């Protein structure tokens, strides 16, 4: 059973927030809301999420641990590999491309590598998707230099309440 997903929009405000940390790190009620939404998404995964989780769970991919539906900054990511600073996102056919681009940009700005695939790619050829993820996992990555390239942004925090 697939739960109804909420659609997000983007404000076309001209001014960016002055404090990057305020726009990325969350606390309080907003963080709790995102955690609850992530729990709900773990309980009701899409077919594409189920297929990919089957390949990523239990450190099956190169011995690296992935967590699913994790809160990273102000975003819920489909899969996160905190040790390699990688997140994997699956885009639904009806997802908002502007929101996806904004989420990816915010993650990249704090030094996280983002891999995005469509649901069709995952369902149609999960082996190819897994090979691409495995390739990225094996690319040497220095989170400090990635953050320096992105400017003086706050460090990302991977939040998981999954046992």
Would you call 143 helix, strand, or coil by DSSP?
helix
pLDDT per position as a tens digit, 32-91: 999 999 999 999 999 999 999 999 999 888 889 999 999 988 889 999 999 999 999 999
Residue 9 counted as domain residue: no
Q: What is the DSSP string of 60-80?
A: TTTT---EEEEEETTEEEEEE
Percent of the chain with pLDDT over 90: 53
Residue 8 counted as domain residue: no
Number of structural domains in the chain:
1
pTM above 0.75, yes or no: no
- What is the domain-level CATH number for residue 131? 3.40.960.10
């Amino acid at each position: 059973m697939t739960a109804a997903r909420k659609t997000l929009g983007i404000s076309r405000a001209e001014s960016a927030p002055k404090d990057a940390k305020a726009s990325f790190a969350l606390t309080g009620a907003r963080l709790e809301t995102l955690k609850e939404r992530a729990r709900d998404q773990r309980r009701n995964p899409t077919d594409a999420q189920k297929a990919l989780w089957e390949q990523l769970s239990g450190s099956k991919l190169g011995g690296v641990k992935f967590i699913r539906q994790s809160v990273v900054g102000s975003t819920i990511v489909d899969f996160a590999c905190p040790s390699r600073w990688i997140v994997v996102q699956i885009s639904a056919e009806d997802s908002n491309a502007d929101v996806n681009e904004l989420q990816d940009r915010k993650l990249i700005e704090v030094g996280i590598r983002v891999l995005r695939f469509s649901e069709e790619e995952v369902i149609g050829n999960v082996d190819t998707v897994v090979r691409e993820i495995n390739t990225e996992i094996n690319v040497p990555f220095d989170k400090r230099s990635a953050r320096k390239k992105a400017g003086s942004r706050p460090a990302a925090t991977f939040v998981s309440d999954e046992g």
